[in-house]
Amino acid sequence: MNAVRVLPHVAAALERRAAVVALETSVLSQGLPVPYNAQCASRMVRAVESRGAVAALTAVARGIATLGLTDEELARFLARDGVRKVGSRDLGACTVQGADGATTVAASLTIARAAGIEVLATGGIGGGHRGAPFDESGGLAALSRTPVIVVCAGAKSILDLPATLERLETLGVPVIGFGTDELPGFFTRTTGLRVPQRSDSAAEIARIAHAHWALGERSAVLVVQPPPADTALDRAMVDAAVKGAVRDAEAAGITGPALTPFLLGAVLAATGGRSLPANLALLESNAGLAADIAVACAAAGA
């Protein structure tokens, strides 16, 4: 029995070795409010398809790990009621218990890899939390062991970005700036942190990833690109908003899986709602770049 259900249109694309991009669903069920999560899903799928690739949402649908969601399933996930936030460690329990689970980057990597997909798009990866050196996203460990190209806008601004970049180095995860020499800060285009490699070509990124894996390395290749300039936020404003949100979370005793959604919500309020359009725009932009890379990967394997 296959561990992952693959919807027919995705399976057909994989069979003919066409470009496929996996999309995580935690951003839809836990990250973005209704109805903006539905807008996000449409914009990301459209961005992928407009570049000649097939979009495949990763999730656990009533106990079935899946690559692709039916319209009815997607509606449930967008409604957000009773949908678990599922990391890689939670996949087994979610499937056995027949639950709906929206997948984080870590769980999405597991599903994408099981189905043979080489490219995943997300907003921002997880990492080390500010002021909590041992509170680290499981996504970093997943990146270190899963050979998939992950396209993002850096790590989420709520995190300790220097520490996260150091951990990626320790874990042997290549970080490539697409059109930038600097690590983006999710909502912001700059952080003052240099990336070790830069590329201005989707085709070159595909070649770099394949060369990395051909040498026996099994880590992901992390591609970071700045959020679109017309919606990106001021770095000082975001930093002040995040510091206030972290203080509020500490005062309220919020930790664990609930922390990231709380912090993102607090930043949304502190920025007067401006972080929401920035988030939607960067997710759409990342999906488009991921499609370009997936098309290049498919061409290389043809």
pLDDT tens for each residue of 231-290 = 999 999 998 988 898 889 889 988 777 777 788 888 888 889 999 999 999 999 999 999
Per-residue model confidence as pLDDT tens digits over 151-191: 999 998 888 999 999 999 999 999 999 999 999 999 999 99
Question: Given a cut of 70, is residue 32 above it in pLDDT?
Answer: yes
- φ/ψ (deg, to 5) at 147: -75, 80
Burial track 91-110 (b if 16+ CB lie within 10 A, e otherwise): beebbeeebbbbbbbbbbbb
Q: What are the start-end ranges of the E strands in the chain?
A: 5-6, 20-23, 54-61, 64-67, 84-86, 101-103, 119-121, 128-129, 132-136, 149-152, 175-178, 197-199, 221-224
pLDDT of residue 132: 67
pLDDT of residue 302: 55
Per-residue model confidence as pLDDT tens digits over 204-215: 999 999 999 999
* pTM summary value: 0.95
pLDDT of residue 1: 44
pLDDT of residue 134: 64
Alpha carbon distance, N-terminus to C-terminus of the chain: 28
List, by residue number, the catalytic residues: 24, 156
DSSP SS3 for 230: coil
Give CA–CA dist 275/238, Å, rounded: 9
The fold adopted by the segment(s) 5-301 is Indigoidine synthase fold (3.40.1790)
pLDDT of residue 167: 94
Structural domain boundaries of the chain? Answer: 5-301
pLDDT of residue 157: 87
Give CA–CA dist 41/80, Å, rounded: 13
| Two tokens, residue 178 | 């697409």
How many CB atoms neighbour CB 63 within 10 A? 14
How many CB atoms neighbour CB 250 within 10 A? 12
Per-residue model confidence as pLDDT tens digits over 87-135: 999 999 999 999 999 999 999 999 999 999 999 999 999 998 777 666 7
Q: What is the DSSP letter of 258?
A: G
Mean pLDDT, rounded, of the chain = 94
- CB contact set of 15 (below 8 Å; sequence gap of 6+): none
- CB contact set of 243 (below 8 Å; sequence gap of 6+): none
**% of the chain at pLDDT higher than 70:** 98
pLDDT of residue 129: 75
Q: Rounded to the nearest 5 degrees, what angle is found at the Cα of 114, between the Cα atoms of 108 and 120?
A: 40
Rg over alpha carbons for the chain, rounded to the nearest Å, is 18
Query: Which string of DSSP letters, residue by residue, matches 175-219?
Result: EEEES-SB---SSSS--S-B-SEEES-HHHHHHHHHHHHHTT--S
Of the candidates 186, 286, 182, 178, the residue with the CA atom closest to the CA atom of residue 239: 186
